[in-house]
Amino acid sequence: MTSLLLLLQPVKLEAYPDLQRCERVTPCLGGSLLEVYGLQGIRWGTAAGYVLSCVYFYAYRRPRASFADRRLLHLHHYLYPSAAVAAPVGLGLGVARGVYEEEWRQLRRPAALAAQLAREEGAAAVACAAYQRRRAAAAAAIDRQWPLWRKLWWGAHTGWRSTYEVKLAQALQLRGLAARDRWQDFLLPHSLAWVRAQREGAATAEPPPPSPPGALTALQADYLASRVLQLRHDKSEERWCATASRLLVYGAITMLVAWNSGGAAARLSMGVGAGVTAGSVISALRLDETFSHV
């Protein structure tokens, strides 16, 4: 049975060795993307709920209460419970945004993926041509700087052409201009074209079996692999997701145990929202790097 969403279609990880070396990666690559979008939605939704609860408390609820009742009103009675609604709403909006951005704007538009692939390959070809021009200019400058007697010395003792080329290559490498003749070497790491080149380079001689109807095409699978690799190798994004996921569990357990009003589902939602928000603050302050053992 195939899924209605292309994002939830499984991908053969054997075709992507770099993905296999990443942690927390499953054949459902779209699920990893939706996880990130969901955490982002919880973060922004809970933060918006906290702000609106403060505005409601100080601008509406407290001014309308009598002076005798104001001592009984506390901000945390409105602040924390706001996450019970804001967290699931933010989660739903985040997942919906992920489906729209990745599914309908990318996977469902093969022309857009082909255009992105062509842009990345064209940029790599231009960069390769510019690099070759720089390297040729540097080689000519180095050749002019070498005195004639040194060249004659090389020719008298060893083969002229081979020694000259070795010395020139060493001089160019010292200047950061090593030999790079393939335009594939200039692709941005983890981009769509880079993932496609890596997959084609690691492919076996046997032709792949035909894909069943409704399954991902090779280009769509390359796009999902590229997006997941970009997230996994983005240190700040990966650190934030790991911290938010860990604090999410801590917050849910704390609210279930410590909060004494509302149902279990509401307290669980409150803990999830508070944990993700705390995780985003901790990650922004880089405290998770300081206390990485916690």
- Tell me, yes or no, whether 181 lies in a domain: yes
Helix (H, G, I), strand (E, B) or coil at 210: coil
**Domain shared by 88 and 198, yes or no:** yes
- Tell me, yes or no, whether 1 lies in a domain: no
Instruction: Kindly give the interhelix angle for 110-145 and 192-202, rounded to the nearest 10 degrees.
Output: 80
Question: Which residue did the predictor score with more confidence, 147 or 208?
Answer: 147
Residue 151's pLDDT is 65
**Of all residues in the chain, what percent carry a pLDDT higher than 70?**
87
Question: Which residue did the predictor score with more confidence, 157 or 70?
Answer: 70
Instruction: Indicate if the pLDDT at residue 33 is higher than 80.
Output: yes
**Of all residues in the chain, what percent carry a pLDDT higher than 90?**
51
Residue 2's pLDDT is 44
**Domain shared by 162 and 263, yes or no:** no
Length of the chain (residues): 294
Residue 205's pLDDT is 43
- Tell me, yes or no, whether 210 lies in a domain: no
- Tell me, yes or no, whether 209 lies in a domain: no
Instruction: Indicate if the pLDDT at residue 144 is higher than 90.
Output: no
**Domain shared by 194 and 79, yes or no:** yes
Mean pLDDT of the chain: 86
**Mean pLDDT lowest for which of 129-138, 148-157, 188-197?**
148-157
Q: Which residues form the domain of 172?
A: 120-186
- Tell me, yes or no, whether 32 lies in a domain: yes
**Domain shared by 161 and 236, yes or no:** no
Q: What is the mean pLDDT of residues 123-136?
A: 94
Residue 126's pLDDT is 96
**Domain shared by 179 and 247, yes or no:** no
- Tell me, yes or no, whether 222 lies in a domain: yes
**Domain shared by 146 and 286, yes or no:** no
Residue in the block written with tokens 């508070």 = 274
**Domain shared by 221 and 261, yes or no:** yes
- Tell me, yes or no, whether 102 lies in a domain: yes
Report the distance separating Cα 212 and Cα 48, nearest Å.
Answer: 44
**Domain shared by 35 and 146, yes or no:** no
User: Residue 291's Cα: distance from chain center in Å?
Assistant: 23
Residue 236's pLDDT is 86
**Domain shared by 142 and 103, yes or no:** no
Residue 1's pLDDT is 37
**Domain shared by 14 and 85, yes or no:** yes
- Tell me, yes or no, whether 230 lies in a domain: yes
Q: What is the mean pLDDT of residues 75-96?
A: 93
pLDDT-derived band at 196 (thresholds 50, 70, 90) equals very high
Phi-psi category of residue 183: left, alpha or beta, with phi > 0 → left and psi -120 to 50 → alpha: alpha
Task: Give the count of domains, the chain.
Answer: 2
**Domain shared by 224 and 254, yes or no:** yes
**Domain shared by 77 and 89, yes or no:** yes
pLDDT-derived band at 153 (thresholds 50, 70, 90) equals low
Query: Over the stretch 214-243, which tens digit does the pLDDT of each residue have?
Result: 678 999 999 999 999 998 888 888 888 889
Residue 291's pLDDT is 65
Instruction: Indicate if the pLDDT at residue 272 is higher than 90.
Output: yes
